[in-house]
Amino acid sequence: MRGAALPLSSGRRIPLRFRHLSISAFGSVKIRLLLCCCVALAFLLLAFGCRHCPSLPPSLPPPGKGYTILINTWKRNDLLKQSIVHYASCRGVNSIHIVWSEPDPPSDSLHDFLRQATQMNSKGGKYIEVRFDLNQEDSLNNRFKEIKGLRTDAIFSIDDDVIFSCSSVELAFSVWQSAPMSMVGFVPRVHWLDKSRDSVEHYRYGGWWSVWWMGTYSMVLSKAAFFHHKYLDLYTNHMPAAIRDYVTKNRNCEDIAMSLLVANVTGAPPMWVKGRVFEIGSTGISSLGGHSRRRSECLNVFAPIYGHMPLIATNAKVIDSRHSWFW
């Protein structure tokens, strides 16, 4: 026999084994619905419950994480204060080093203001060390003097009279992390071979309008750029002394010297990141007459010391497409 069957109102019968399958299928649907409810409840608890989680106490970021602000200043304490108040609010800042080459040491009141302002503006009460790196000699080479005991691989070199939004700085930092031996910055410049002088190779320096017109660049200036902290050691202790001497004597071109150094190590071009900039200082030396000529002279002095021109041109640009209409 095939077993008992249940009667139906129509007089037809359905085998008992099919009834068992229907009950099983209905039960599995209920189990699935219950599991879905449990998963949804777990997500709700994660989303809303963490609002009441206790915050962790302030602490130093682990070594190698984040970046060090290396800020160059000269008798502009008001601009220095504005800059540090701003950059202390950026998420990735680990510490701030101020290159100080003035004859008088920073005052106690300046120390206190910067320390308090940094703690008030840091994200989540994170501790950010603020330190003055004092120099006896007034030289532009001081901005790249080797610093012992840094907690980060990344250096963000910045002048005290330019401010970039934290979102732009974090974008540049993420780009630098993808190529940590490269120089990643916001201010592109270009060089080219002047073929009008056939007897000797002669290079010319081009500012922003040259970059815009030619669509290429070969340098990013250290007034706003990321680079690896090892380049401080290379610049101070291994770069040809003749280049440092020229920078000290002529009070110019330390940024070109750093660009040449990095390019000579990597054999690659720098990386330009488009960022939002606010200039809070007065016009700098780039506005003075003969600026491009003096910068061209630096290129023609430095390149023969290396025995070749290390700089490499590129036309790549990094932008944040979330804040740009054209990309």
Q: How far apart are CA 318 and CA 195, in angstroms?
A: 31
- Measure Cα distances from 89 to 20, 44, 128, 165, 167 in Å: 66, 31, 10, 10, 11
> What value does the CA radius of gyration of the chain take, rounded to a whole number of Å?
31
What one-letter code names the amino acid at 173? F
255 in active site = yes
Catalytic-labelled residue, pool 159, 160, 161, 255: 255
Give me the DSSP letters along 5-70.
EEE-TTS-EEEHHHHHHHHHHHHHHHHHHHHHHHHHHHHHHHHHHGGGSPPPPP-PPPTTSSEEEE
The two three-digit tokens of residue 317, written as one number: 């640009």
228: left (phi over 0), alpha (psi -120 to 50) or beta: beta
| Contact between residue 234 and residue 196 where contact means Cβ atoms under 8 Å apart | no
Q: Is 123 helix (H, G, I), strand (E, B) or coil?
A: helix
User: Residue 122: how many CB atoms within 10 A of its CB?
Assistant: 18
Q: How far apart are CA 47 and CA 250, in angstroms?
A: 59
Q: Could you give the residue numbers annotated as active site?
A: 255
